[in-house]
């Protein structure tokens, strides 16, 4: 959604929300990007001054806000706050990041049938929650559908009224978008949930063809086509064309219900997701969302008992002492000559026997390690035990020799320390031998008397 700077006449604070940018302007007022004290971002719409002076508009607007508070659905923007008694009434909904369906199709072109069906199924579920709350949106169109990272969201319930209310007119003009209005809205008849089904069919047709099913032209021309001419679905894929044609029926009774439409679109999305055209959107606006479907390929790995058999065979090949692998249970046992004979020429087999091994292009399994006397070391089996072999006796002998040598070394160290221990422990100094003095060197006094 494009953002613009605030203009001089735009307010900076509305209620408890601080306004930051302009998100757009419509027939009812201006939409701003705001935030509260906790930093929660909202889309805040301020009603036009001329509509604010209309008491009938205020009363209907109050009923709509009361009904919108009851809407609980994941595909709609939640109502956060509203002030119906202000000089210019306003309401704030949860801000939904992401491009609108109109901008997406305008930039990237028509969507694939799988993507259109996935978006339609999610929007049908959202409309089901709206209709259960007793509300009709009345202005469902591509610009009021945002493709968020968590899936499509329906926004702008500004002209949605309670079920059974007549169309709202201002200066003789029906409120809404001419290419997506239902015939009963143009005639001024009562609106029903079937009114939103007509608008959803026109919206999905736009996603398939990048054009309105009633073409282009002035408002009067578009409204005439909606009432008197059939929708043009030439560019709609065959998988969706019959369903969208039923949604665009002139008589509301001939249109499918919201629940049946959701179920049928889910079936089409699941079927088309595995076809050649069922790829995800190129941009990351819907990464991880339910309206994107990626093709999944079945795994070629064996499962169940066959997988356990393969795992056991791989383990035995790695630990086995023979060079030939264990034959596959589904293959007949090969002869000894066919297994040991190299697949390549004799010269190639003689240069690197490890790489040739018993089969073509496969590395021969390494032999089991052996001890000094040629005995094999114990190998763990797949069940966790040890295979019996002649190497246990050798291991036992080595352990005994190691223990005996360790004891002898310890005894020797203890004996050496015991000889020097008493003298150091009692603090008795060993006498230092003194060489006998000679008269020619020390004179008649001893060496110890020179310092007296």
Nearest of 50, 39, 48, 41 to residue 21 by alpha carbon: 41
Any catalytic annotation for residue 238? no
pLDDT (0 to 100) of residue 275: 64
Out of 103, 139, 254, 337, which one is annotated catalytic? 139
pLDDT in tens, the chain (452 residues): 568 899 999 999 999 999 999 988 877 789 999 999 999 999 999 998 888 888 888 887 887 788 778 787 678 888 899 998 899 999 998 898 889 999 999 999 999 999 999 999 999 999 998 888 888 888 899 999 999 988 999 987 655 544 444 333 333 344 567 889 999 999 999 899 999 999 999 999 999 999 999 998 899 999 999 999 999 999 999 999 999 999 999 999 999 999 999 999 999 999 988 765 444 444 333 333 444 443 333 333 444 555 566 466 656 655 654 444 444 444 444 444 444 444 444 444 444 444 444 444 445 444 454 444 444 545 454 444 454 555 788 888 889 999 999 999 999 898 888 766 554 444 444 444 544 444 444 444 444 444 43
pLDDT (0 to 100) of residue 176: 60
pLDDT (0 to 100) of residue 208: 96
pLDDT (0 to 100) of residue 394: 86
pLDDT (0 to 100) of residue 334: 46
pLDDT (0 to 100) of residue 313: 63
- Which tens digit of pLDDT belongs to each residue from 133-143? 888 888 899 99
Query: 101-108 and 193-209 helices cross at what angle (nearest 10)?
Result: 20
The Cα–Cα gap between 117 and 7 comes to: 40
Angle at 392 (CA atoms; ends 388, 395), nearest 5 degrees: 155
pLDDT (0 to 100) of residue 250: 96
pLDDT (0 to 100) of residue 142: 94
User: Domains in the chain, please, with CATH?
Assistant: 1-95 (3.30.200.20), 98-293 (1.10.510.10)
Q: Model pTM? A: 0.58
Encode burial over 24-63: b for 16+ CB neighbours within 10 A, e otherwise.
Answer: bebebbbbbbbbeeeeebbbbbbbbeebbeeeebbebbee
């Amino acid at each position: 959604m494009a953002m613009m700077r605030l203009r001089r006449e735009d307010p900076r604070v509305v209620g408890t929300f601080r306004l930051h940018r302009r998100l757009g302007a419509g027939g009812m007022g201006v939409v701003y990007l705001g935030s509260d004290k906790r930093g929660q971002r909202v889309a805040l719409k301020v009603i036009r001054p001329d509509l604010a002076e209309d008491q009938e508009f205020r009363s209907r607007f109050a009923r709509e806000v009361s009904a919108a508070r009851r809407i609980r659905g994941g595909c709609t923007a939640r109502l956060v706050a509203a002030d119906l008694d202000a000089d210019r009434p306003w309401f704030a909904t949860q801000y939904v990041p992401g491009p609108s369906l109109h901008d997406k199709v305008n930039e990237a072109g028509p969507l694939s049938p799988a993507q259109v069906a996935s978006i339609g199924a999610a929007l049908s579920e959202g409309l089901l929650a709206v209709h259960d709350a007793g509300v009709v949106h009345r202005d469902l169109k591509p610009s009021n559908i945002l493709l968020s990272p968590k899936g499509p969201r329906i926004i702008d319930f500004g002209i949605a009224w309670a079920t059974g209310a007549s169309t709202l007119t201002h200066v003789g003009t029906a409120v809404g978008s001419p290419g997506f209005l239902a015939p009963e809205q143009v005639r001024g008849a009562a609106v029903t949930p079937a009114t939103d089904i007509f608008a959803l069919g026109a919206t999905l047709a736009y996603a398939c063809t990048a054009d309105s099913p009633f073409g282009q032209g002035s408002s009067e021309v578009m409204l005439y086509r909606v009432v008197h001419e059939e929708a043009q679905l030439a560019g709609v894929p065959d998988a969706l064309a019959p369903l969208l044609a039923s949604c665009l029926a002139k008589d509301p009774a001939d249109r499918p219900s919201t629940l049946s439409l959701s179920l049928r679109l889910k079936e089409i999305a699941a079927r088309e997701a595995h076809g050649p055209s069922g790829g995800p959107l190129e941009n990351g606006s819907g990464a991880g969302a339910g309206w994107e479907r990626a093709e999944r390929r079945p795994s070629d790995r064996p499962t169940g008992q066959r997988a356990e058999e393969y795992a056991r065979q791989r383990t035995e090949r790695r630990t086995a002492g023979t060079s030939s692998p264990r034959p596959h249970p589904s293959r007949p046992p090969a002869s000894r000559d066919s297994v040991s004979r190299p697949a390549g020429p004799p010269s190639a087999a003689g240069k690197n026997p490890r790489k040739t091994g018993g089969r073509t292009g496969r590395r021969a399994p390494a032999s089991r390690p052996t001890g000094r006397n040629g005995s094999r070391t114990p190998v763990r089996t797949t069940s966790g035990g040890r295979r019996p072999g002649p190497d246990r006796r050798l291991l036992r002998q080595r352990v005994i020799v190691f223990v005996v040598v360790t004891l002898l070394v310890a005894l020797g160290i203890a004996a050496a320390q015991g000889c020097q221990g008493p003298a150091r422990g009692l603090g008795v100094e060993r006498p230092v031998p003194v060489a006998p003095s000679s008269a020619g060197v020390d004179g008649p006094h001893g060496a110890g008397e020179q310092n007296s």
